[in-house]
Amino acid sequence: MCDISKRPGQTLHPAATKRFASTVIYPPSEAKVGGPAPDFSAPAVIDGDISSVSLKDYKGRWLILFWYPKDFTFVCPTEIIAFSDRVEEFNDLNCDLIAASTDTEEVHLAWIKTPRNKGGLGHMKIPIMADTKKEIAARYGVLKEDAGVALRGLYIINPDQNIEQITMNNMGIGRNVDEAKRLLQACQFVAEHGEVCPADWQPGGKSIKPSADGSIEYFSEAGKESSHEEEFGQAIKSIKSPQEFQQLVQGDKPVVVDFYAPWCGKCRQIAPFVEQLQEKHPEITFVKADTTNEQLEGLTAEQGVKVLPTFKFFKGGKEVREPISGYKKKMLEDGIKSLA
């Protein structure tokens, strides 16, 4: 007779008496982006044989560990086959792949030995790990405890065995191999170059130096490429040259200069408010300076503009108060009143 109290991962509920009432207690999740990957060592099917895999075996290489719910199902084989068929592309990037579920290694092996045209996997080029105790899945935060199976979690682990990226899908949604590869390449690019990858980044695409100057540089280029964007703040006069700027600030009227860029969302949002302030204060000259204009690059740098929008205040040829940066309507209104 099998003693249920001896099963791994289970403990009897203290109140259990005549009936086999039990409570399964799993370890808490340990997986966090930027933190160490939870250690593991478990049986796996590798090259058609039952063997084992351990996290430590992959130290010094990138690793993608992806979980799936169950063998002999529907979405799962499409994912595993897709990753296995393209494993060489990942290997060329110094990256290995491991698939994992809470099925046993024997079930994995049976699934692999089943032809694809009969719902099996066929030959696999990647290990398929068996987390039968479900403890590894729990520590990776991927275990759906009420069902006892793993969600579709994918973890990119760097050569120092820290987690760089986590994605998690519900059971009915398969993953995209191209996107997993792109994310891997983005992680590798950041690690190698120290620059960061913007939205929709692709290998060979533009990156950003992680500084205020780097952001200005990136978005200035983006602004030049997006010069077709609809103009905003049309009621505000645009200055076209440093000479025009000097003539204005040296004049008799106080001047408010709005340093902006066509791509800047906050610049666009605050523009109608600036136009309202111009109507309220005809005694003040309002102008705007497009920081993506090549003729104004020197002026932008000279004025120390690093954040957009930035408003600067001049009177009698001198800057008379601290600049205001960002979407700060009350501060901007108060600053303009101080010039009046």
Calculate the dihedral angle through the C-alpha atoms of 228, 229, 231, 237, rounding to the nearest 10 degrees.
-70
Q: How far is CA 213 from CA 209, 254, 255, 264, 307, in A?
A: 8, 29, 26, 15, 9
Q: Residue 104 has which token pair?
A: 């046993």
Calculate the dihedral angle through the C-alpha atoms of 43, 140, 120, 73, rounding to the nearest 10 degrees.
140
Task: State how far Cα 11 lies from the chain centre.
Answer: 39
Q: What is the largest CA-CA distance in the chain?
A: 100
Q: What is the DSSP code (8-state) at residue 311?
A: E
Q: How far is CA 244 from CA 167, 247, 304, in A?
A: 52, 5, 18
Helix or strand run (H / E) with residue 49: strand 49-54
Active site residue 2: no
CA distance 34 to 11: 33
- Which residue's entry shows tokens 């994995």? 108
The catalytic residue among 2, 76, 95, 264 is: 76
Pairing, β 310-315 against β 285-290: unpaired
Range 301-329 burial, b when 16+ CB lie within 10 A, else e? eebebeebbbbbbbbeeeeeeebbbeeee
CA distance 259 to 292: 10
Question: Which of the residues are catalytic?
Answer: 76
